[in-house]
Amino acid sequence: MGEIVVVENLTLDGVMQAPGDADEDRRGGFRHGGWARPYADHVAAETMSRGMGADGAMLFGRRTYEQFHGFWSRQADGNPYTEVLNRKHKYVASRGPARPLPWENSSLLEGEATAAVAELKRGTGGDLVVLGSGELVRSLAAAGLVDVYWLSIHPLILGTGERLFADGDAAYRGMRLTRTVTTTTGVIIATYRPAG
C-alpha cells in the first residue's frame, strides 16, 4: 500500500492560494497570486525534483489538474518537472460532470473523492503525490488519509486567502517533524507525519 503525500507551498499564516501566478486563482478577490515565485532557488528545485521523481502517481483536484496541464505540458523539452509530470500517471478527483482528460497518462476517479482515493491507496504500490488541490487535501485530511505533509513554508504573511487548514476544517491532530531543508531564500521545506 502506498502513502498519500501532500506537497504544498504555504505562507507563514498558512495561505496556499495561487502561489505560482497572478491569475492562478482569484477566488474571493485574492490579489496576491504568484507570491512564491520570488523565493524560488536551486535548493527548492533540487529538493522538489527528488520528491516528484519517486515511484508512484500524482493525485489532483480538477482545478489544479487543469492549471498544471495548461502550463507544464507545454514547457520546453529538458525541463525536469515537465518530463516527470508528463510521464507519471495522474488521477483526478472532480465533483463536476465527467469530461475527457487532455493530459497523457490521466484517469478520472469515479464516485466520492475520499472513498475513491482510499481504494486507490489500498491498491497501489507507490505513493500518491498531491500537488496543490486544497479542497481535495482538506477532505483527505479530514478522512485521515494523508500520510505525509511536505510543506514549503515561505517567509511572508499575506493576511488573506485560502489556507491549507481553515477554521473548523480539521480536528486536533499532532504532527511529527521528520525532515527539514532550508533554501537560500529562507523557505523551510518541512516534512511532517501525523503523530499517533
pLDDT of residue 136: 94
**Cα-based angle 169, 175, 178 (whole degrees, multiple of 5):** 140
pLDDT of residue 49: 77
Q: pTM of the entire structure?
A: 0.91
pLDDT of residue 55: 76
Tens of pLDDT along the chain (196 residues) come to 789 999 999 999 999 999 988 988 999 999 999 999 999 999 998 888 776 666 789 999 999 999 888 888 777 766 667 777 888 999 999 887 777 899 999 999 988 999 999 999 998 778 999 999 999 999 999 999 999 999 999 999 999 999 998 776 666 778 999 999 999 999 999 999 999 7
Alpha-carbon distance of 148 to 120, in angstroms, equals: 16
pLDDT of residue 1: 77
Enter the C-alpha cell of residue 44: 527548492
Q: Are 187 and 48 in contact (CB under 8 A)?
A: no
pLDDT of residue 171: 63
Neighbours of 131 (CB within 10 A): 23
- Domain extent, residue 13, equals 4-194
Neighbours of 147 (CB within 10 A): 17
Q: How many domains does the chain have?
A: 1
Q: Which residues are registered as beta bridge partners of 91?
A: 59, 107
Give the domain CATH number at 184: 3.40.430.10
Beta strand 127-131 with 4-11: parallel, antiparallel or unpaired?
A: parallel
pLDDT of residue 181: 96
Can you spell out the DSSP letters for 161-195? S-BSS-TTTS----EEEEEEEE-TTS-EEEEEEE-
